[in-house]
Structure 1
Amino acid sequence: MNEHEQEDLLPAVTLGHFVMKVQDAEASYRFYIGLGLRAFGTFPGMGVVEMRGGTHLLLFQKGDDQAGALLNSQNGQRPDFSSEKIDLMIAGRTKADLESYRVGLICKGYSPSAIADGELYGHHYFSMQDPDGNGISFYTSHCSDKPV
């Protein structure tokens, strides 16, 4: 296989799982499905939703034996929230795409912030909180044109 053919292949790896501890796994499961993540399933003390690219968001119920074994951590790049954070990227690349997604969330009863003035590393973005107060930032995509 030549170098050009290798460049057209999917990346060798993807993020498999992103773990969050939540107060109510069922409520968080419904919340993230409402954002447009795909329902995967619920299990005792845990919900799993799927993101684009096949990454699974694992929602562990706080106080559950499984969640107790997980270390606390800080994730994400936005300092807007003091608790755990997650950065999500929509499929759209423009500010108009992001605004359309944001308006859709408002129509579903969510309360996102306004889209921030300016860009952050080439992204337009807005933020909101999940049922546990975890910060979520939504960004426009700047993925390459190659399959991801």
Structure 2
Amino acid sequence: MNPVMNTLDVVVADIGASIAFFRHLGLDFQVDPGYAEHAGCDLPNGLHLMLDEEKFTAMARPGWTRTAGSPPIFLAFQFDTPADVDAKYAELVDAGYTGSREPWDAFWGHRYATMLDPDGNGIDLYCPLPTAS
């Protein structure tokens, strides 16, 4: 039997703040009616993204604590144009979220920017740069 990786689970400090942030990126999280500390969002291609508050994670995994240091994860969102990357970055900064790296043209051929979600996770915004003919 081969297992199928179909879910990502992100631990967050405040589920409401995280849902509000990801709403700016077009994700529609549904809070679990049985556990207000847990929410999920179906993504394309059968992938499911979950958010679990720290206290929910600690209850489910006795002895768990959040470690200090760099962001534990990065999620990447692809856009259609470089202008879309710039606009979303500006929208998020204007909404009070923290930009980690302003939009720039990366040497690997993408327009790239990085935001931080309310828990300090890296959220990359990118699109392929048009190729010169």
Q: TM-score range with shorter-chain normalisation?
A: 0.5 to 0.7
How far apart in 2 are the matches of 1:53 and 1:100?
26
Secondary structure of the structure 2 residue equivalent to 1:83: coil
How far apart in 2 are the matches of 1:27 and 1:101?
18
Cα distance per residue 1:43-76 (max 9 Å; x no partner): 212122344555332111113223x27x99xxxx
Report the more deviating stretch, 22-31 or 101-110.
101-110
Corresponding position of 2:103: 115
Secondary structure of the structure 1 residue equivalent to 2:39: strand
* Greater share of strand: 2
TM-score w.r.t. the length of structure 1 is 0.62
1:83 aligns with 2:75: no
1:46 aligns with 2:34: no
Gaps of 5+ in 1: 1-13, 73-80, 143-148
Is the 2:79–2:85 contact (alpha carbons within 8 Å) kept by the matching residues of 1?
no
1:106 CA drift (Å): 3.1
Corresponding position of 2:8: 18
Gaps of 5+ in 2: none
Question: Partner amino acid for 1:100?
Answer: A
Corresponding position of 1:136: 123
Secondary structure of the structure 2 residue equivalent to 1:63: helix
% identical equivalent positions:
28
1:141 CA drift (Å): 5.1
Q: CA RMSD in A?
A: 2.9
Alpha-carbon distance change, 51 to 108 in structure 1, aligned in 2, over 3 angstroms? farther
Which of 68, 72, 83 is the matching residue for 1:96? 83
